[in-house]
Structures are given as C-alpha cells and as structure tokens.
Structure 1
Amino acid sequence: MASFTELETWKQSRKIRKLISDLARGFPANEKFRLTDQIIRSSRSIGNNLAEGHGRFHYQDNIRFCIMARGSLTETLDHLIIALDENIITEEVLQSFQPEYESCLKLINGYIQYLKSKKLSE
C-alpha cells in the first residue's frame, strides 16, 4: 500500500473526524476548552495514529499505533456520551454516531489482524 490515505480504516476515521468537527461547532461556548477541545483532539487522533503507524518500518510498530487509534476512537465515543449526559446532544445524535463508530472499530480490528498475520509470515 503506497499511502495511508488508501487505507479504509483511515478513510472511515476521516469521516468520523468530519462528523465530530461539525457536531462540536454546536457545543456551548463554556465547553470550548473542555469537552469541545477534548472530543476534537480524540477524533483527530484516530487518523493521526493510523497514519503514523503506516509510516513505521516494522509491523509491530504499526500495530501499536493502530491500538492507540482504537483507544482514541473509544475515547471519542465516551466524549459523546458525556455530551449526552450534559444535555449537549440528544440520544438520537449519539445513536446516529454508533454505526460510524462500529464500522471504524471493525476496520481497525481487521487491520490489526492483517498486520499480525503479515508479522508472523516474515
């Protein structure tokens, strides 16, 4: 694979990053340096880690960054749950994010398994 931008996992993380960015614009001003900043950073970290891992020489390094991307994805979901609990978003908004989250999670897990199989065949 020539570029990380060809990875389906990265493409899905880009979609999530855009969804979160659009959603966060509607968060209250008093959350700017709290929840808004945190959720934007965690959503960006998903793709950042996938890109950084792709640029590493060894499969194990790439796997480690994929695991961090998976953690950032889960952190993003937790921030949305906090937004729900704080009445910043509705249950419907959270539920509409769920398929995107699950898709990205499956893609990351599949990519990790692929990398593990490549590592074993070295």
Structure 2
Amino acid sequence: MEKQPIKSHEDLEVYKMAFDVAMRIFELSKTFPVEERYSLTDQIRRSSRSVCANMAEAWRKRRYEAAFVAKLNDCEAEAAETQTWLKFAVKCNYLNAETARELYSTYNRILSILVTIINNPSPWIIKR
C-alpha cells in the first residue's frame, strides 16, 4: 500500500482526526440545554473547531519555522481547552462519561502528534 503525498493540511491524519472529533462534538452538543447555548455549547464548539482552523493556518506558515510552531502551539492549547470543556459537560450531566472518555482520548492522540511535530518541525518546513 503506497502512501499518498501530503498536498494540503486536509491530507494530514491529525487534521482528519481533529475534524471528525469536532463534528462529533457538534452533534453531541446539540443535546446540551438551551441555557448553555452561549456558554458551554458555544465554547466547546469553538475550541474543537479552532484546532482544525489553526492547523490549516500552521500548514500555510511552513516557510517560517517560528510561525509554524506558534500556530501548532495554538492547536495544542485549543485541544487542551476542549478536553476541559468535555470534563465540564460530564460534571453537568450533559455528556455520559464513556463518550467523553473516547473524545478525551482522541484529543490525547491529537496532542501527542502535535507535540511530536512541535518538537521536531524541520521535516515540515518548506525550504527556501
């Protein structure tokens, strides 16, 4: 099985994983109480989507290592924020613990990949 070349951020497995989990959070958050619309619901949706958006920006900043790493750090922060919102959703009984554990675990995998790239960005940088 031959690996396809990475042409855009959308080809990255970590991006696909982040996008899929953000969409899952979107669907699950539809069941959150209406009084959480401008609080927990909005926050968890924003942070989960922001992981993907920052990854897209990081991809386009690969000419400049510092800018690339900075955007990946933003991804990392947003992923960790999403994990915090997941904990709130469980404590407020909006999300069952097993589902939250699965989502949290996915973010742990995303974070692991991001940290690996942050710690060794040179293979990803566009050489001038």
Considering only aligned residues, what root-mean-square deviation do their CA atoms show, in Å? 1.9
1:50 is aligned to 2:51? no
Q: Number of paired residues?
A: 121
Is the counterpart of residue 40 in structure 1 residue 45 in structure 2? yes
Determine if the alignment matches structure 1 residue 68 to structure 2 residue 39: no
2:86/2:104 contact within 8 Å kept: no
1:24-53 C-alpha deviation (Å, 9 max, x unpaired):
111111101110000000000001001001
Q: Deviations over 1:84-104 (max 9, x none)?
A: 111211222221213211211
Cα separation, 2, equivalents of 1:76 and 1:63: 20
Query: Higher mean Cα deviation, 36-45 or 19-28?
Result: 19-28
Moved over 6 A (4+): none
Task: Using structure 1 for the length normalisation, give the TM-score.
Answer: 0.89
Q: What is the percentage of aligned positions where both structures have the same residue?
A: 26
**Bigger helix share:** 1
Q: CA offset at residue 114 of structure 1? A: 3.3
The answer for the alignment partner of 1:11 in structure 2 is 16
Q: Give structure 2 stretches of 5+ with no counterpart.
A: 1-5
TM-score by length of 2: 0.85
Q: Which shows bigger deviation, 36-45 or 50-59?
A: 50-59
